[in-house]
Structure 1
């Protein structure tokens, strides 16, 4: 069952937010994250694909507003080294 926008959970800001980032080159993804994040963050390697081509990293950062959270997401999704952001 899909949730409508009216049913989305309320998020209280500021809060810690986690982005799951998927790409091919760990060092290049890390460099992209450092370039994009506006303040200090926690970074953790999560998974590698069975073929070893893709990796996922979890990035946790304190966000102050929904606008800031969405802005970071937009910057991550448009970076050429990042294949997907969840």
Structure 2
């Protein structure tokens, strides 16, 4: 992203050089994940699998965009997370899954 300085310091995310404090998130909260990969069907299965593995989470999953070449697809998945640890756990499951190229 042009113009944004995204750096990770210790365990807190700093969105830009001017933001020095971590945003306050009150849990439980609905949290969204954008999952990007090459195989649309595999991504959808991956989302269902991870939501089941991380506590049988009720979730909403919608098809996002596909790249101009059709090589990449995205899904928007959201669920209620009870803690920051749970949110990070779900993110890590997506991040480490073979069918996921990127999670935001």
SS of residue in 2 equivalent to 1:72: helix
RMSD of aligned Cα (Å): 0.9
Q: Which runs of 5+ in 1 are unaligned?
A: none
RCO (CA 8 Å, sep 6+): is it higher in 1 or 2?
Answer: 1
Larger Rg, first or second structure (1 or 2)? 2
In the TM superposition, what are the counterparts of 1:9-48 in structure 2 within 5 Å?
Answer: 9-37=23-51, 38=55, 39-48=57-66
Moved over 6 A (4+): none
1:1-42: CA deviations, max 9, x gaps? 3334xx121000000000000001111011111111131100
Q: How many residues align?
A: 84
Q: How does the TM-score come out when normalised to structure 1?
A: 0.93
User: Match of 2:99?
Assistant: 81
In the TM superposition, what are the counterparts of 1:34-73 in structure 2 within 5 Å?
Answer: 34-37=48-51, 38=55, 39-73=57-91
Q: Which runs of 5+ in 2 are unaligned?
A: 1-15
